[in-house]
Amino acid sequence: MSEDNDDGDRMISLDSLITKAKDILTTNPFKGLTRATKQPNLNDDQLVKVVEQPKPVNDQLEKADEIVDGQLEKDNEIIDDLLEKAYERLQLRGSDDELFERLNGLLWLEEADELAAKYHRSTYALVIDSLTKRLGDKRVAELIQTARKVSKTKAIAIKLKNAQMRYWLTSGTSATEVFGRLGMESAMYSLLTHPLFHYWCTYAKRYKVLDPNSSALKSLTTFFGEKGVSELLQYALQDTSSEELAKILQTEQITAWAKNGQSLEDVFNLLGLNRAGSKILEDPLLNVFTRFTSAFNAEHKFDLKTSGATKKHGVLEAVNYAPGTSLHPTEREKALFQLWFVKNEKPEDVFRSYLAKTGDNLLTSPLFTTFLKYTDTYSLNKRKDVSVYKIIRDDYKAGGAVLVNQILALKEVPNTPAKYAAERVEADIYRRLKDPQNPTSPDELFEFLRLHEVKEPAELFQDRMFEYWMECLDVFLKQPNAKHISRSYLATGYDEDALLLTIVEAEMNDKTKEIATKLKTELFKQYAFAEKAPADVLDLLKRNNLRTSQWSFFESYVNDYRRVTREISSSTAPRSHTGIYMN
């Protein structure tokens, strides 16, 4: 059997058929065949000559065409029948992966070679045509790929591969359609290691010559969508056997997005990252978005480090540095920062979108550390003060008690990003308590810690959050305006007799004496802010037989009461929302 260049086809003319056609022509020489796509068994040179000839221009030429086509179709039927009978006679089985290694398989190829010589056809085109009708495109391709792995059948396999691809090309079968015929859509995440994937890629390159607008990537997108392709390529990058090809295809996809005018937000949403929530740093598609951000910046000749770029694109100059964290942003974080800045997302917007529902692991979440970096870069770029505490207070669904429990637990661990996060949040709580312009009031913090849900005064001393609140109260009282800042929850939120009695009893216990004394001092301050008349306070002391022992507190209370009422009566402006009496 011949093994000439390409696929070993026998290069012969169609003189015998042309002679039949000439017998009926009275004018004009025969111009050539016009239905090449119906004849996939012709070799390359024959196809080119056929396609280049113009159509017949009169009835006689059309008749000649019909004669030639009719003869070819009759010959095809004869060939198909003979090959089919030979296949059965030699007891071939399509399920046999070693079909072309078997003696009966080689004998069948020899019979195909003889028929090709007799009917002026391509041997391997006949084989492909016959096997495809019996086994289908996918199984034929699998047999070819198996044969390529065996040295003695490799040459045959290469010729069969070329013949199969020519078979598809001459019938105008697109790369997308062939992908479906080969049944690879079910492979998805193992696609790039699928035995037929490289085989199909070869065909996609050949088909692109016929249709320059086609590509392997476009075909994959037809089946899996933009996000699906990104997912399977990102997955394939983890496998050394598919990593190189995955990089090529991913680069092609990302470059196409950048050149087609896709924005950062477009690609972010396309990849489904807008729905990733608190898991966004764990999403492998964030790597794709990060690569796209680099391509986007390159396409727009955009350098993050220049102030001109900042003004033009609304992206922070400080994207490369988060000074407060002592932790430099990763490339993935830089990509997120750029997106958030382009979208003009404030830190509270970011927290609300990604962290509000995190639960009891907020401070240990890597994304929270990312959020802290963003607050630093945002504050630096926008020249705005950002309060992490206030953002958490307003939007953290789990509440202040859950937050503080995390802070307390992380104080006991070695230095980690989570411990740093806890220290940052607590430092901001303290900073807000000491803020001379707009301080956090003890009442606000009391409610944030959900202490208002503790109904019995005696239970306060058993609550770790109350102890923490008292620690924060110490911080608050060190700021200059503390005595002017209204707070009254202790004075109004509990039964006054029960609360005072609880405090007095706690003073008798060495373990709680110090905190009880501080609380009693604060309680009397709050009575003044609640404008509780001295006579009423004196009556409270009398009812609890405390007039003598608590006289110093009563005397202090009278002085505070006079000061508060004097500030109220002398002020022409109402108290601010912080509780400060504005003079």
* pLDDT tens digit sequence for 472-485: 999 999 888 888 88
Beta partners for 485?
580
Same structural domain, 456 and 573 = yes
pLDDT of residue 572: 43
CA–CA gap between residue 95 and residue 139 (Å, rounded): 8
Same structural domain, 401 and 457 = no
pLDDT of residue 531: 86
Instruction: Tell me whether residue 417 is in a domain.
Output: no
pLDDT of residue 303: 62
Same structural domain, 125 and 60 = yes
Same structural domain, 46 and 115 = yes
Helix (H) or strand (E) holding 8: none
CA–CA gap between residue 110 and residue 114 (Å, rounded): 6
What DSSP character marks residue 330?
P
Same structural domain, 357 and 239 = no
Instruction: Tell me whether residue 229 is in a domain.
Output: yes
Residue 305, number of CB atoms within 10 A of its CB: 10
Instruction: Tell me whether residue 32 is in a domain.
Output: yes
In this prediction the pTM is: 0.76
Identity at 409, one-letter amino acid code:
A
Instruction: Tell me whether residue 427 is in a domain.
Output: no
| Cβ(284)–Cβ(234) below 8 Å | yes
pLDDT of residue 305: 57
Give every CB contact of residue 194 below 8 A, 6+ residues apart in sequence. 184, 187
Scanning the structure block, which residue is given the tokens 């796509």?
37
pLDDT of residue 382: 79
pLDDT of residue 267: 98
CA–CA gap between residue 541 and residue 535 (Å, rounded): 10
Same structural domain, 159 and 234 = no
Same structural domain, 517 and 544 = yes
Beta partners for 580?
485
Dihedral angle, C-alpha 146, 147, 148, 152, nearest 10 °: 140
* End-to-end CA separation in angstroms for the chain: 109
Give every CB contact of residue 75 below 8 A, 6+ residues apart in sequence. 119
Smallest CA-to-CA distance from 33 within 170, 137, 195 is with: 170
Scanning the structure block, which residue is given the tokens 């945002």?
378
pLDDT of residue 527: 85
Smallest CA-to-CA distance from 170 within 125, 119, 115, 109 is with: 125
Q: Which domain holds residue 251?
A: 178-260
Smallest CA-to-CA distance from 198 within 169, 165, 224 is with: 165
Smallest CA-to-CA distance from 254 within 297, 213, 222, 208 is with: 297
Residue 561, number of CB atoms within 10 A of its CB: 21
Same structural domain, 466 and 382 = no
Domain count, the chain: 4
Q: Write out residues in the chain with pLDDT < 50, as ranges.
A: 1-38, 47-49, 51-52, 307-325, 572-583
The values of phi and psi at residue 485, to 5°, are -95, 120
Give every CB contact of residue 192 below 8 A, 6+ residues apart in sequence. 232, 233, 236, 239, 242, 245, 246
pLDDT of residue 436: 84
Same structural domain, 103 and 40 = yes
Smallest CA-to-CA distance from 140 within 122, 119, 126 is with: 126
Scanning the structure block, which residue is given the tokens 């239905």?
35
| Cβ(342)–Cβ(264) below 8 Å | yes
Same structural domain, 127 and 12 = yes
Same structural domain, 235 and 343 = no
Q: How many CA atoms lie within 13 A of 504 on its CB side?
A: 14
- Given 235, 260, 285, the domain boundary residue is 260
Q: What is the per-residue pLDDT across 147-194, written as a single tens digit (0 to 9) for each? A: 999 999 999 999 999 999 999 999 999 999 999 999 999 888 899 999
